[in-house]
Amino acid sequence: MLEFDLTEEQRALQSLARDFAQREIQPVALELDGMDVRESFPWDIVKKGSALGLRTMALPPEWGGVGADLLTQSIMIDELAYADMSCCKIFSQCWKVSRHLYMAGTEDQKNRYIPSFVEDDTFVLGQAITEPDVGSDNSGYYDPPAGQGLALRAERQGDYFVLNGMKHMIANGPVAKLFVVTARTDPTVSQNNGVSRFIVPSDTPGFSIGRIHDKFGFRAYPNAELIFEDVKIPVEDLLGGKEGPASEETYMRTVGSIESSSHTMGVARAAFDAAVKFANERVQGGKPIIQHQAVQNTLAELYVALQAGRTLLWRTAWTSTYKEPDAALAGACKVFCAEATRKITQGAMELFGGVGVMRDLPVQKYVRDSLIMLHHAGGTQSMVKLKIGKTLESRYQQGLPVV
Ligand SMILES: Cc1cc2nc3c(=O)[nH]c(=O)nc-3n(C[C@H](O)[C@H](O)[C@H](O)COP(=O)(O)OP(=O)(O)OC[C@H]3O[C@@H](n4cnc5c(N)ncnc54)[C@H](O)[C@@H]3O)c2cc1C
């Protein structure tokens, strides 16, 4: 039976995230958004959040975390992203990558990297796949043949792999101390069979940061180019100790979809609350605008989208936490929540009238932040839909239940 009750522990973590978000993030979110992206990284928030365990919470207790499962993470993201999606995503990117290290890493890799991550409040993580010429090719929908697709080369030379090439748009790129990097280990086969993942500390000789991208939303969560020039990675840092396809890939995509949907719904809820407050306080035509039927109708439509998105998100997170991760359901959740949030944030901004587009109120920021989510997180909306379609075809062909 599907239940929406939270456990006591989940409630405690939800309230920890809410208190932190309202106390530390909300007051500075607009200011961070307006800053130069090369200077806005919120180190103070990262350090304070880390001291409360927010950076490391996806790790199990024996590795220094609290073992927050996907549903718990989703509930916490809802609170943090309500205050600011960028600050929230800095933490949750650490959850995703540390989860990946923990799940896929060898015991030796975990022992060498996880303690340093846990002990250092400024240890931020990143994941590097996308390259200037290779984006949707990585979505899991395509499998580029030999000679096409990912070009960052990892060539085996004795006890090392030598990495040459570049990545771009990598989140936490300018600040992360460690990346999980996908590179081509065998250029003679298709991409799916010829790539492997490496643990790359950012102080490795030959590694450098290129351009820092200037986005129109989601601004305090920085993206950058990563440059690899003869970067020597010892064979012990091949993630999981083996080359080729990763068994955890589908699960990690499911995690990514749930995580991004949680961010969008947090922003949507913030925009919706702001709209209801404004509509109650703004008087036109002799009464608060919420008493005009057209405004009530608009708010009702936004409310429908918000509740539908939240319900789908919770069901998806619950299913992936307590049952089997379902990639098609997670994809549907990502597509629906991103679209719903576009509708809710834009609807809220319009309801504010002229002040809606002014930078001194956060409602225009919610729109800019939410639009970014249509462009990434497991792929663009189009690519996620294509993958859903492919999964449905395959389920039907195999005689499996489609839904
Ligand atoms: C804020 C942000 C954070 C990011 N963080 C990271 C990160 O941490 N690590 C990382 O590796 N990457 C990251 N990315 C990159 C992201 O994953 C890619 O931008 C995304 O996968 C799309 O790739 P692309 O930009 O190269 O677009 P392209 O692949 O060039 O796509 C261009 C257009 O073609 C469309 N398209 C392609 N094929 C089809 C088709 N068959 N049918 C219909 N339409 C199609 C796409 O939907 C899109 O609209 C981030 C991006 C952003 C914006």
Domain end call among 77, 101, 119: 119
Is 102 in the same domain as 130?
A: no
Whole-number Å distance, alpha carbon 383 to ligand 1 midpoint, is 8
- Residue whose CA is at the smallest distance from ligand 1 atom 6: 170
Total domain count, the chain: 3
3-class state of residue 325 by DSSP: coil
Helices (H), 161-248: 191-194
CA distance linking residue 341 with residue 184, whole number of Å: 36
Is 237 in the same domain as 200?
A: yes
Kindly state if the Cβ of 171 falls inside 6 Å of ligand 1.
Answer: yes
CB 101 within 8 A of CB 112: no
Is 15 in the same domain as 152?
A: no
Q: What is the pLDDT of residue 2?
A: 62
Interval 315-343 mean pLDDT: 94
Q: What is the pLDDT of residue 324?
A: 87
Is 52 in the same domain as 92?
A: yes
| Strand 178-184 with 195-201, pairing | antiparallel
Which residues have C-beta within 8 Å of that of residue 79, sequence separation ≥ 6? 14, 17, 18, 21, 266
Q: Considering the domain boundaries, does residue 224 fall inside one? A: yes
Q: Considering the domain boundaries, does residue 402 fall inside one? A: no
Among residues 389, 373, 374, 254, the alpha carbon closest in space to that of 317 is found at: 254
pLDDT at 1 over 60: no
Q: What is the pLDDT of residue 376?
A: 83
Q: Considering the domain boundaries, does residue 3 fall inside one? A: no
Which of 169, 260, 382 has most ligand 1 atoms within 8 Å of its beta carbon, as the pocket-test mutant? 169
Q: Considering the domain boundaries, does residue 1 fall inside one? A: no
Position 98 confidence tier, pLDDT thresholds 50, 70, 90:
very high
CB 44 within 8 A of CB 25: no
Q: How many residues does the chain have?
A: 403
Domain that holds residue 227: 125-241
Whole-number Å distance, alpha carbon 279 to ligand 1 midpoint, is 37
Kindly state if the Cβ of 389 falls inside 6 Å of ligand 1.
Answer: no
pLDDT digits (tens, 9 = 90+) for 176-187: 999 999 999 999
Interval 63-91 mean pLDDT: 97
Is 235 in the same domain as 290?
A: no
pLDDT at 258 over 70: yes
Interval 27-53 mean pLDDT: 97
pTM of the complete model: 0.96
Interval 59-70 mean pLDDT: 96
Q: Considering the domain boundaries, does residue 2 fall inside one? A: no
CB 364 within 8 A of CB 349: yes
Q: Helices 249-281 and 85-104: crossing angle, nearest 10°? A: 160
Q: Which helix (H) or strand (E) holds 257?
A: helix 249-281
Domain end call among 220, 241, 262: 241
Whole-number Å distance, alpha carbon 82 to ligand 1 midpoint, is 25
pLDDT at 93 over 80: yes
199 CA to centre of own chain: 19
Is 146 in the same domain as 188?
A: yes
Position 250 confidence tier, pLDDT thresholds 50, 70, 90:
confident
Kindly state if the Cβ of 172 falls inside 6 Å of ligand 1.
Answer: no
pLDDT at 59 over 60: yes
Kindly state if the Cβ of 170 falls inside 6 Å of ligand 1.
Answer: yes
Which of 37, 134, 136, 264 has most ligand 1 atoms within 8 Å of its beta carbon, as the pocket-test mutant? 136
pLDDT digits (tens, 9 = 90+) for 100-142: 999 999 999 999 999 999 999 999 999 999 999 999 999 989 9
Share above pLDDT 70 across residues of the chain, in percent, rounded to a whole number: 100
Q: What is the pLDDT of residue 141?
A: 93
Interval 202-229 mean pLDDT: 98
Helices (H), 141-248: 191-194
Whole-number Å distance, alpha carbon 173 to ligand 1 midpoint, is 17
Q: What are phi and psi of 189, to 5 degrees?
A: -125, 175
Is 106 in the same domain as 24?
A: yes
Is 296 in the same domain as 329?
A: yes
Q: Rounded mean pLDDT of the chain?
A: 96
* Ligand 1 atom nearest to 129, measured from its CA: 11
